[in-house]
Structure 1
Amino acid sequence: WWGNKPKLDKIVYKQMADTAFQNGEIDAVEAYTKDDIKAIRSVKDAQLRIGYSTKTRVLEYNGKSKPLDDLQVRKAITQAFDVNTYNNVQFQGLNWKAEQPGSELLLPFQKGYENNLPAEAKYNVDNAKKTLEADGYKMGKDGYYAKGGKTLEISFTFFGDDATQQALANAYQAMMKKAGIKVKVVNVAESKFSDTVSSGNYQVLPMAWQAASAMTFVVSAPQLYTSDGPSNFTYVGSKKIDELVKKAGSLSDYDEQTKAVNAAEKEAFKLYGTIPVSNPASYLGAKKGLANYGPSGFAGNLPQDIGWQK
């Protein structure tokens, strides 16, 4: 062993229910909901440790499905998306102020991060209506836009029976209605997530990306934004974006890499296939005195450094 002298003799892994923390059987537990946090705070001598996660929540628009095969419709639903209201619902009770990030490749605390969203992507219901009207849509008596006798309708898919996810779907439906866009909410079992994504059986899909390391953006760019990228669930792209991404992959200098991927992402966002929504927090409940364990971004928690404060 060539590392630092470990503070523990051994580490035991055991699958247990989260209630084990409340029962004093384990020393730390991750939290994801306001109920999880409430449970942690009910434990004597427990601490709630909060930090940035390396996750980015996004909305994916299926660009091969009608009417989202129309760039102007994708642009309009982006302009009609009230991201602040959406995030307030997402993080209610979690004591986390989530600002909309401008990238799905680099996190706001990373060197080289830029806001790559187009200026026209900002929330503005009037602009959303103008975009649709310039695209040939007309407002109907029912309060929804239509073209060629067909009402503008899209679907919003969410998974499972979590109350927050249902509330997010309802909020999205309500904000689109303000812009004259009809939304059908589709609820699918959690077990069907992979099948739904891989088959493209969705239109507006909330999901998230997880960055494994500070350099993940180098491999994420071609996966997310190239025309045939394996994680391009928007199904939109261009030769220009492919070339910019390829250029980024050929560079070895960090500053040049971030400059190149930012340029590629700016072009990708102009296609309105996907938008970043938030960077959630990472929460951990821990017994008082547990050292070197908790939210740590890309640094991770080295097992040999975990121990108890003297």
Structure 2
Amino acid sequence: MPSARSAMRAIPNSSTTTATLSPAITWIGTHWSSVDGRFDSRPQRRDIQKKRKHMNRRTTALAAVAVLSVAGLALAGCAQPNAKPTNGAGETEAPQLPLVGWTDVPASNLEQGGTLSLAVLSSGTDEGNWNIATSLGANVEVVNMQAPIMGTPYKATKDGAVEPDPNYATSIELTSDDPQTVDVKLNDKAVWEDGTPLTANDYEATFAALSGKNDKFDIASSAGFDKVASFDVKSDYEFSFTFSSPYADWQALLTQPAVPADIAKDPAKWGGYTTKPLPSSGPYVMSKIDNNAKVYTETPNPKWWGDAPKLDKITWTVIDQGSQAQAFANNEINAVDNVQDVDTYTAALKKSGAKALNSGGLTYSQVTFNGLQAPLDDANVRKAVAQAIDRELISKTANSPLGVEATTNGNWIYMPGQKGYTDTVGEKLPYDLDAAKKLLTDAGWANADGKWTKDGTELKLSVIVPQGTKSNELRAQQIQSSLKKIDIDVTLDEVPSADYFTNIQNGKYEMATFSWQGTLFPVSSTESLFYPAQKPGGNGQNFAFVSDDRLGDLWTQANAELDPEKRLKITQQINEVIADYMPMLPFYPSPNISIVDSNLANYGPSTFMGWASDWTKVGFTK
């Protein structure tokens, strides 16, 4: 299970899904990409890495912005901002999208052989590195196309948990809570593509490189690895590691693929894979690289020790997003993944034998309130605004045209379908116009002649909108329409897209609607969104700028609590505290959508497992 470490990314176009969990990949931290507002919760080691990382994501996001502008216009035709609200006296329980978009087909029902042709938006060569643990290689597209050639001790399950992958680990055990120690027994059959054993020494060197202790190593994140106090190689196929302090997301470290020790010990080698991947440890190997034509071919790994792959070949071709539907129609590729706009969706489905698959995703749209700007510096005003926004209508407008049932997200830590998810928003602050008005009255505002006033000041608000981002503008219009129903006028403050996140970071806004991307390990990665409070223009990701002192102790407890059930109780308390001061209102999870050939099996979108749970089982039906 290769790792892209726990990621939350932010996007003004929340309907994009470029950085959803990649095949068997997880991220451990929070990072943001500025073009379409998607934020990753992946803390970066160095500012220069963070800036370059943003540039990586922009390559993907720029394409998304263009298609999403089209999508926004089409969606507006489906449901205008002043459309009838779903329910003025409380939201109904929202449906959930499937966790997995495909139906498992037994290997015995698949053809032996065939070529699977897929598209990506860029390669490791384009991004500057194929090593996904580097700041340049930690890119969704780079991770996606290497999923069949990598593996890790832990793999994701369909419900967002992790379990040992027997191809790589026969046992993973938390052997001590104090000090926190993890013991790992490796599969002694695992080898690199040249037949060299994959051993504990490889993991030891990889952990050391990712610890951040040697600045010569270019790494995307040291999260978790920097808390490892000692690493003990017990034998070639067993190791243990001990943390300096309790770290609840310890499993995330074992979703990072090992790098051969001779590479992981040398910063130059570590960062030197600029035109080809590192050695394979998966069921496939990268057998042909054409950087000029941007076509990359993977074939079965002759040294693979697990179940034999069904396919003869997997090809990845770099194709821009706007051209993928036509490539699919021309039988150049077997799937169009990350479908984000109505035009692509309808064009791809016209192909004979095509079918649409969808699942939930880890990206969710929301609106953030600037808690330092009056009148939003009053928590009751923020809660009133939250209860007056019709989240169900916003979700329907964005998702229904793509053939996906509209859902809402009501949790600040977990995504729908993830263990621990509860609809805290629906329980504490449901859509209720009368309740919203009462909150304003309790806050000292009076309504006369259709206007709210307090101490001679009229209650007016604004939403910052990046120019040319239609889906973002549509969400802002729907916020505007919702609040008009309780006599709050909202203006749209349109700014150049290049200034959008600069203004947000500097506190030059009142409300902002963009998206965050969740992770398999969401507790530690979401803390920075809410705690501590921060000053505009400072470092951090708390763009509401306010917090609640109770969160500090609660997050400290949650990050150190090793008992899963006790931890869930703490995270529920965190959610309730956030609801109490309302810095941000989550709207809906963006779905993952693929259009695939009907005979393609065991491949498609999923909420947590990426595009395939087992690449040896991907193939074509008989």
Same fold by TM-score greater than 0.5: yes
- Measured after TM superposition, the shift of residue 135 of structure 1 is 1.7
Q: In the alignment, what sits opposite 1:233?
A: 543
How big is the shift at 1:295? 0.8
Distance 2:418 2:358 in 1: 18
- Highest CA radius of gyration, 1 or 2? 2
Q: How far 1:177 moved relative to its partner?
A: 1.2
Instruction: Identify the residue that residue 5 of structure 1 maps to in structure 2.
Output: 308
- Contact 1:155–1:185, Cα closer than 8 Å, also in 2: yes
The change in CA–CA distance for 1:164 and 1:226 in structure 2 (over 3 A counts) is closer
Aligned 8 A contact 2:410 2:426 in 1 = no
The structure-2 alpha-carbon separation of the partners of 1:11 and 1:169, relative to structure 1 and needing over 3 Å to count, comes to same
Distance, in Å, in 2 between the alignment partners of 1:10 and 1:119 is 47
Q: Distance in 2 between matches of 1:3 and 1:62?
A: 53
Residues 240-279 of structure 1: pairs in structure 2 closer than 5 A: 240-279=550-589
Name the TM-score, length of structure 1 as normaliser.
Answer: 0.89
Tell me, yes or no, if the aligned pair for 1:8 and 1:306 is still in contact at 8 Å: no
Question: Contact between 2:400 and 2:406, CA under 8 Å: does it hold in 1?
Answer: no
* Cα distance per residue 1:222-277 (max 9 Å; x no partner): 22221248322212212211111110000122222222112112111210111221
Secondary structure of 1:91's counterpart equals helix
Q: Does 1:53 align with 2:361?
A: yes
1:98 pairs, out of 406, 412, 417, with 406
Amino acid at match of 2:379: L
Deviates more, 1:80-89 or 1:65-74: 80-89
Q: Look up the SS of the partner of 1:234 in the other structure.
A: coil
CA RMSD of aligned residues (A): 2.3
- How far residue 297 of structure 1 moved from its aligned partner, in angstroms, is 1.7
Aligned: 1:65 with 2:373 = yes
CA drift at 1:303: 4.7
User: What count of residue pairs does the alignment treat as equivalent?
Assistant: 307
Compared CA separation, residues 308 and 192, structure 1 to 2 (3 A): farther
CA contact (8 A) 1:59 1:205 kept: yes
User: Which deviates the most, 58-67 or 185-194?
Assistant: 185-194
Say if 2:347 is the partner of 1:39: yes
* Closer, same or farther: CA 298–184 of 1 in aligned 2, 3 Å: same
Residue type of the partner of 1:165?
N
Report the Cα distance in structure 2 between the residues aligned to 1:304 and 1:203, rounded to whole angstroms: 50
Alignment of 1:184-199 (within 5 A): 184-199=491-506
Q: Give the Cα separation in 2 of the matches to 1:39 and 1:189.
A: 31
Amino acid at match of 1:157: I
Does the CA-based 8 Å contact 1:153-1:183 persist in structure 2? yes
Question: For the Cα contact (< 8 Å) 1:81–1:176, is it kept in 2?
Answer: yes
Cα drift, residue 132 of structure 1:
1.4
Matched-pair contact (CA < 8 Å) for 1:8–1:304: no
Distance 1:192 1:22, change over 3 A: farther
Task: Please report how far the alpha carbon of residue 160 of structure 1 lies from its aligned counterpart in structure 2 after TM superposition.
Answer: 4.3
Q: What code does the residue aligned with 1:285 have?
A: I
SS in 2 for 1:156: strand
Alpha-carbon displacement from aligned partner over 1:276-296 (angstroms, at most 9, x marks no partner):
211232110112222222112
Aligned ranges 1:1-310 → 2 under 5 Å: 1-6=304-309, 7-16=311-320, 17-18=323-324, 19-30=326-337, 31-117=339-425, 119-141=427-449, 143-213=450-520, 216-228=521-533, 230-300=540-610, 301=612, 302-310=614-622
Relative to the length of structure 2, the TM-score reads: 0.46
Q: Distance in 1 between matches of 2:509 and 2:616?
A: 45
Decide which moves more: 3-12 or 42-51. 3-12
2:151 aligned residue: none
Gap change, CA 1:121 and 1:291, over 3 Å in 2: same
Q: Is the 8 A contact 1:98 1:280 kept in 2?
A: no
SS across alignment from 1:186: strand
Cα pair 2:472 2:513 within 8 Å, conserved:
no
Deviation per residue, 1:82-139 (Å, 9 max, x gap): 2222222222412333233321211221222222237451222222222212222222
Contact 2:428–2:579 (Cα < 8 Å) also in 1:
no
Greater RCO structure (CA 8 Å; 6+ sep): 1
Structure 1 residues 243 and 283: alpha-carbon distance in aligned structure 2, compared to 1, 3 A threshold: same
Q: Specify whether residues 23 and 104 from structure 1 end up closer, same or farther in structure 2 by C-alpha distance, changes over 3 A only.
A: farther
Uncovered stretches (5+) of structure 1, i.e. residues with no partner:
none
Indicate conservation of the 8 Å contact 1:103/1:113, yes or no.
yes
Give the AA of the match of 2:316.
V
Gaps of 5+ in 2: 1-303, 535-539
> Do the aligned residues in 2 keep the contact of 1:59 with 1:275 (CA within 8 Å)?
yes
SS of the residue corresponding to residue 93 of structure 1 reads helix
